[in-house]
Structure 1
Amino acid sequence: MATRQTKWHGRVDGVETPCSVRGCKEPGEFRAPLTPSDFDGPGNWRWLCLEHVREHNAKYNFFAGMSPEEIEAAQSPIAGWERATRAFAHSGADAGPTWRDFADPLDAISARFRPEARRRAIDRFTAKERHALGVMGLKDDADLHRVRKRYSELVRRYHPDRNGGDRSHEKKLGEVIEAWQTLKAAKAFE
C-alpha cells in the first residue's frame, strides 16, 4: 500500500492502486472521501488520479445546506472562540463551584462562597470603578479577563468602521473606552 504521504498536492507516494473512476488507466495517487465526513470516524476513501481528484474537489461545497447566518459564523475570524472557558482568578480566590449548595457539616468548603465573602470582593472597587463596570454591563465580581473581553465586544459593536461609517454610537464608544481606561488601572486587578 502507501509508504508515505508528501506535503505537495496531497499525493501519496508508493500507491499501486489504479484510479477508481471506471475506464481511467492512471494511477490513483490521491485519497478522496466517498461521502462527506461526519467526524465520527476515519471515513471511507477511494483513490483517484490527479484529473479526477480535481473534478472531485471542484464539486465540494463546505457551505452546502447552511443558512446565511451559519455561513457568516463559520467564516468569522473568531469562529469557535466564543465558547466560555474558565478564567483564572486574579483576586486570589477561584469562583464558587456549581455545587456550592451541598451539605458541608463542618463548614470547611462552603464558607468561602457565602454572600458575605462575595460582598468583601465587591468592596474592592471604588465608586468610579463600579460606574465603569456598569457602563460595560458587568457585575462587581468580574475579573480583568472578563473586562477585557467585554471591552473588545463593545468596541466592535460601537465603532463606526464596523457600522458602515455610522457615527451615532460615538458617544457610547467614548464611554466604553473611558471605562476601560479606568478599569485596567484598578487596584483590584493588580
Structure 2
Amino acid sequence: MESNGRLCAELGCDQPGEFRAPPAAGSGDGEGPGAYRWMCLEHVRAFNNRYNYFDGMTADEIHHAQRPLAGWERETRAFARAGSGDQGPRWADFNDPLDAIAARFRREPAPERNDGKPLSGQDRASLKVLGLAADADRGALRKRYSELVRRYHPDRNGGDRSHEAMLQKVIAAYQQLRQAPAFA
C-alpha cells in the first residue's frame, strides 16, 4: 500500500506510514471508532506483537469469549426470520436448480400446479421457453413442443438457420420437462 505522503504515527519516526492499525484507545469523538493510525512496517509489526484481544477483560469474560460455540447463538443474515428486512442474495448467475434459496426471496408467488406436483426453478425456466403455464399437462407439453419445432426447424423455413439457437433451446427445455417429476 502506498503511503500517500503519510508519515508513521509513532513519535519520532520519519518512515512512510504504509500500514493501517486500529485507532488508539480513547481517540475519536465518541461517534464510532476513531481514524486509523498509519505506521511503517517496523512499528506495525511491533504493534501486532503487543496486541492482546483479552486485555482488560475479567477471567469470566475471557472464558465466555473462548467457549467453543461463541458467536453461534445469534442468527446469521441468510437464515434470519422472515420479514426482518433480509433481501436475499445479490448474485445473478447463481445456479439454484431446486429453487431452494431463491423461492424465499421471490416477490411474486411461484406458479404452482393444480395437481400439487412441485416445479423446480429449471422446470419454470423450461416452461417459460416453451410458453406454457405452470399447470400444463404432458399432452399440452407434447403439442407445444411439436408446434415450436415446426416453427423453428430449418426445413420448414426454406433452409434458414437463423432460428437454430431457439430450436436448440426448445429441444433442451422439452427434454428437461419430459423427465421432470411434475410431468411423469
TM-score by length of 1: 0.36
TM-score by length of 2: 0.38
Over alpha carbons, which structure has the higher Rg?
2
